[in-house]
Structure 1
C-alpha cells in the first residue's frame, strides 16, 4: 500500500496501559466513524505497515484507545509511539454537496463569477490559518482562500469549482504580467 493511496487518519500520541495499548489522536470531526476498524496502516521508517486491531474504543471523545494484535508490552508500544496512522482512500466517507477532501479536487478547474476561468488546482495549502486553493494559471500561482462564502458550487462530475471572490483578488496575482 502506497501513501498516496491512503489518507492520514491520525497519530499515536501515548501509551495507555502496560499491556501495549496506545492512544491515537485522530484528525477527523467524526472519530466515531473509526471506532471499529479491523486494521490500520502504521507508518514505520517510511513504510506503511498493516497492524491488526484486537480492540478499540473512543477515549475522552477525540482519542482512540487501540489494542493492536502483537503489541503486548510497553516496549512494543514504545516502538510505534508518535507513528502516523493511515487508511486506504476508499475508507473515507463520501461527502455530499459542496464538501470535498483536499486530495480529490487536485486537477479541478476553478471558474470565478467575475473573472472567468482562473486555472487548475494543483494543491491545497493548509498550513495557514485558512486553507488556500493553489491554482496554476499558465505558470502563475494564484491563491484563493477556501472560504465557504467564496465557494459557490463544487461540480465533481465535471471537475470544476465555481467561486465568487472579492473583485480584484485574482488580478493581484496577474498585475506583473
Structure 2
C-alpha cells in the first residue's frame, strides 16, 4: 500500500489537475499545494476510514511504510486525529489484498478522484512484435469528478502511473 501511495504521489505531483477538487460550496476548483494520499481502511467493526499519507510525493518509501503502519494501527483503535483522516487530496482504495480482480470505487466528498486498485493476476499479453507471454497485471480504475478533472487529464495520469510502475519502480525507493 505504501508503494502504491508513493507511486500515486509521484505521478500526482506531475499532474496537479488530478490532485484537484471543488471547494466546499462547489463554486470553485481547488488545487492543493500538497499531495496527500488518503487510503481506505476497513474497520474491524464495519465502516471505512481514510487515513492520510501526507506529502506522499516527497516522503521516502521507508517513512511512508512506517507512517502507514502507524496510521492503520491507530485508525483501527480509533485514535486518529481529524487532520489525519480529513486532509486527503486524492484517495486510493486497494482491494487487491483480498483477491478482488476489479471494482469501482465511489468518490468521497471533498476529493476530485479515487483510484481503485485490484489484485495482480497472471494474464496473457501480446507483445508489440506479435509474441505472446504471461505477465502479472493489476486492474486500476479511476473515478473522477468531471467538473474538475477532464477525461484526457485522467488518462494522462493513468498512462504515467502505469509507465512508472511497469518500467521504473526502483525509483520509488527514494
Instruction: Tell me the TM-score normalized by structure 1.
Output: 0.25
Larger relative contact order (CA 8 Å, sep ≥ 6): 2
The structure whose residues are more often helix, as a share, is 2
TM-score of the aligned structures, taking structure 2 as reference length: 0.26
Structure richer in strand, relative to its length? 1
